[in-house]
Structure 1
Amino acid sequence: MSNTPTVVLVHGAFADASSYARVVTELLADGTRVVVPPVPNRSLAADAAYIASVVRQIEGPVLLVGHSYGGAVITVAGREDNVVGLVYLAAYVLDEGESLGELQGRFPDSPLAEALVYTPFPVVGSNEPGIEVSVDVSRFPEIFAVDVDDALTRVLAVSQRPLAGAAFGEPASTAAWKDLPAWGIVASADKAINPDVQRFGYERAQAKVTEVDASHLVMHARPAEVVRVIREALASVPV
């Protein structure tokens, strides 16, 4: 069993695993083992449980990387025994018992708040539909990816993976950063998650922070910076 951590890249809301494409290319070129699972985006507890199940099946140590809502997911899933560190990318970092809505509510809204679209979806076993949240396709480029290639951004805008609205009010059952080393990238030009929300969470987690002049999709806009921080974490985590 190798002691070199496997990097598990966890995407956020309104995105999918392909959002890490440029980062994966660089990590694979390093010889790093990478797993990029799909996140169901249906509830914080369920999404974290799914990612935790992926982590448990990996032999050896794991470095969890979470973007946006994925930061909340890895904060809970990071309690798995083989997780050795957490990397947050333009992410929510929740405390135990805290929800996305509670954390966001401490700060002024970003432009994302007025660009959200709410759509019902069927819930198996229930007569009541769920509500999923996505971003107005016409607003997606300016809010999420103003510094990303226009052609790619148009594709991303129409291929969003929505987030169930219930996830915003669901409290985190635990906070793995209390026992693990953490790194965080602040996307200082972010119009989706207020950069001060990111800074607050990272400071609370005592993360090593890097500020990057980038939009919310920092993995597309500044992949070299993201890879640099992941490499730093890989070289620093206890194994």
Structure 2
Amino acid sequence: MSTSTPTVVLVHGAFADAAGWFGVINELQRHGIPVIAPANPLRGLASDAAYIASVAAQTAGPVVLVGHSYGGAIITVAGTTENVVGLVYVAAYILEEGESLGDLQGRFPATALVSSLKQWTYPVEGGGLAEEVSITEEAFPAVFAADVSGSVVKVLAASQRPLAVSAFTETASAAAWRTKPSWAIVAGADQAINPEVERFGAKRAGAVTVEIEGASHAVAVSRPTAVADLIRDAVRATS
């Protein structure tokens, strides 16, 4: 790959960490594509997007942002960063400016995720407590990773990172897909985000869309080659 090859920045979503990109990273590195997978703070849309924007801005050369799940909302805002040249959405929320996760989700039937969340609290500045949610251990396999082997699912469930509840109501301050090219993967058997939500967002953004039949929300874990192939398309198109 030439020096103008964009660096791929992989942004994980809620109830996951950057290790979920393992297979995708391996595929991209095998093809000589530079890639980093930062830890997403999961504390709120504005602050998380500001963090990912800062990662992109400090990365030399062009960047393709890839967002899974809630990470899609983050790259929609962070993607306005000057050196971001493309956006790839993986089983993700693709928000419009002024829209929240709750707004977009509310247009479509709810998934099993809604009734499978466990609430926690965490300390915030000033001595107060804020709420966050994770997926219950019992529900995690069916909701998040139905097409992933049992032993791997147990590790994913144990290592999941909760999302601040405030992230569901914060609205997107920008929609980078209005000015940057985009690609999207719809996970056909997603039980965390209704596939209709993914299709709607991708169509609205004018994204080049691939649907993977039978894929769970953890499509980057279960189908890393397919996910990496679409990211490679985005890299080639923006190089």
- TM-score bracket relative to the smaller structure: over 0.9
Aligned twin of 2:208? 208
- Opposite residue 68 of structure 1, the aligned amino acid is S
Query: TM-score, normalised on structure 2?
Result: 0.98
SS, match of residue 192 in structure 1: coil
Spell out the pairing of 1:56-135 with structure 2 (5 A cutoff): 56-127=57-128, 129-135=129-135
Q: Deviations over 1:4-63 (max 9, x none)?
A: 100000000000000000000111111111010000000000000000000011110000
Q: State the alpha-carbon separation in 2 of the partners of residues 85 and 171 from structure 1.
A: 21
SS, match of residue 58 in structure 1: coil
Q: Deviations over 1:60-91 (max 9, x none)?
A: 00000000000000000000000000000000
> Over the residues paired in the alignment, what is the CA RMSD in angstroms?
0.9
Structure 2: tracts of 5 or more residues without a match:
none
Aligned-residue offset at 1:118: 1.1
Structure 1: tracts of 5 or more residues without a match:
none
SS, match of residue 167 in structure 1: helix
Q: State the alpha-carbon separation in 1 of the partners of residues 8 and 160 from structure 2.
A: 23
The answer to whether residue 29 in structure 2 is matched with residue 36 in structure 1 is no
Query: TM-score, normalised on structure 1?
Result: 0.98
Q: State the alpha-carbon separation in 2 of the partners of residues 230 and 122 from structure 1.
A: 37
SS, match of residue 32 in structure 2: coil
Q: State the alpha-carbon separation in 2 of the partners of residues 55 and 105 from structure 1.
A: 31
SS, match of residue 124 in structure 2: coil
Identity of matched residues, %:
56
- Opposite residue 6 of structure 1, the aligned amino acid is T
Q: Deviations over 1:71-118 (max 9, x none)?
A: 000000000000000000000000000000000000000011100111
Aligned twin of 1:168? 168
User: After the TM superposition, which segments of 4 or more aligned residues of structure 1 sit over 3 Å from their partners?
Assistant: none
